[in-house]
Structure 1
């Protein structure tokens, strides 16, 4: 028992001496032959360079076709802005414009495509163009900030409003409806017949409501007939007198 303990302590002391006397190349991880009586360490794994992550490119912005040399909306009709020097023209152009100024110019471009005449600002076509510019701007915003619930709600409300306007325009003026969809790049989809699954209970309730509505209409028709007959009898009595 004592001989085993003494052998273990001797081995531990020899290992400590070898570690202290080992060269720095041995401690850095280089392989050393086992014939020299030293320990062999595994070579470090090579760390290869990681490939750069490619950014996911979303759809192109609706403001991408605006040239930086274009003047702002407030200065586009001013003739003096066309003849100024390059520094002032750069300040008045879209190169240093804000996002709201670019969006206003884009909105005017969409309105010019579908308006009936130059003074038209309140027609259904113009309202659809304004809503289209607003919806696309909110869609681009939500691609970067997908947790913005308030702007998502505004976008859905604008989409519903545009659907109603397009539906009415399609029923009243189909040629104008086709022109608006073509000029603005809108794909009109028909709404589904039912927004929920038709269960037996729902079908029975619907049939009962239709039956009640028909009975009410019959009662109203009978009341109108009685009033009409009473009015006719009153007219005949007054005419006979």
Structure 2
């Protein structure tokens, strides 16, 4: 009986001590967390907690500047293509508002591209009325290809325009190849004036794979076997012809004897 009472008192006293220690630890942790939020170094228990590091906003990344556009050399004060040959437009261009409307400052991209095409054509055309020669076609395709390249740098997922650009590049390659074979001096002039680097196509376009290599080795083996059989047949035919030619010679020799 006495032992049971003693055990109960011991357990009650230990539970009280645990409650007091738990409340003190919670108060201590709360003070540590509040001090950390305020930015001070606090000693919690047996170690020192450093103040939190403040991560400030990073500097904005500089946007990479792409290659210069082919339309950048067109001055904004230049007249549009439709009004270059109109004398009345030159007289009306004295007003600032009319001048801006008739110049490239408020022109659309297609109007600027048309003027750029005319500038490239003027560099390579044979005479003033030349509009259908190979050199003029190469100049038009060059302006179009560069326009596609600038567009695809901003919209790299535009598959339709990428396909049109590749078709235009193939067509220009064919024209340059023909011009190089027919008139080499004109070919050099076109490449120099338009800034084109002509690269020779590879001798073979097919991509090598394991299946293609195995098929090629098998075809070579079959070809060699067929050539070997044909050589044996030719040798047999020669031996047969030689034997047929020797038989009449033997008969003639017997008759003479």
TM over 0.5: yes
Given that residues 36 and 52 in structure 2 are in contact (C-alpha distance below 8 angstroms), is that contact kept between their aligned partners in structure 1? no
Which secondary structure state, in structure 1, belongs to the residue aligned with residue 119 of structure 2?
helix
Alpha-carbon displacement from aligned partner over 1:14-50 (angstroms, at most 9, x marks no partner): 3555678x69973633326659x9x976312132452
Q: Does 1:6 align with 2:21?
A: no
Which secondary structure state, in structure 2, belongs to the residue aligned with residue 103 of structure 1?
helix
**Which structure is larger by alpha-carbon Rg, 1 or 2?**
2
Q: Larger deviation: 2-11 or 173-182? A: 2-11
Structure 1 residue 3: Cα displacement = 4.3
Structure 1 residue 195: Cα displacement = 0.8
Q: Does 1:75 align with 2:70?
A: no
| TM norm structure 1 | 0.74
Structure 1 residue 10: Cα displacement = 1.7
Map of 1:176 onto structure 2: 186
Q: Larger deviation: 83-92 or 24-33? A: 24-33
Give the paired residue count. 204
Task: Measure, in 2, the Cα distance between the counterparts of 1:151 and 1:40.
Answer: 63
Q: Does 1:106 align with 2:105?
A: no
Given that residues 29 and 44 in structure 1 are in contact (C-alpha distance below 8 angstroms), is that contact kept between their aligned partners in structure 2? no
Task: Measure, in 1, the Cα distance between the counterparts of 2:123 and 2:190.
Answer: 8
Alpha-carbon displacement from aligned partner over 1:126-163 (angstroms, at most 9, x marks no partner): 11011001100000111111111111111000000000
| TM norm structure 2 | 0.69
RMSD in angstroms over aligned alpha carbons? 3.1
Alpha-carbon displacement from aligned partner over 1:182-210 (angstroms, at most 9, x marks no partner): 000000001111112484744848x97xx
Alpha-carbon displacement from aligned partner over 1:72-116 (angstroms, at most 9, x marks no partner): 111122222223211101111111111111111111111111111
Which secondary structure state, in structure 2, belongs to the residue aligned with residue 47 of structure 1?
coil
Which secondary structure state, in structure 2, belongs to the residue aligned with residue 187 of structure 1?
coil
Which secondary structure state, in structure 2, belongs to the residue aligned with residue 28 of structure 1?
helix
Q: 1:131 to 1:4 in 2, by over 3 A?
A: farther
Larger helix proportion, structure 1 or 2? 2
Task: Measure, in 2, the Cα distance between the counterparts of 1:149 and 1:33.
Answer: 61
Given that residues 42 and 49 in structure 2 are in contact (C-alpha distance below 8 angstroms), is that contact kept between their aligned partners in structure 1? no
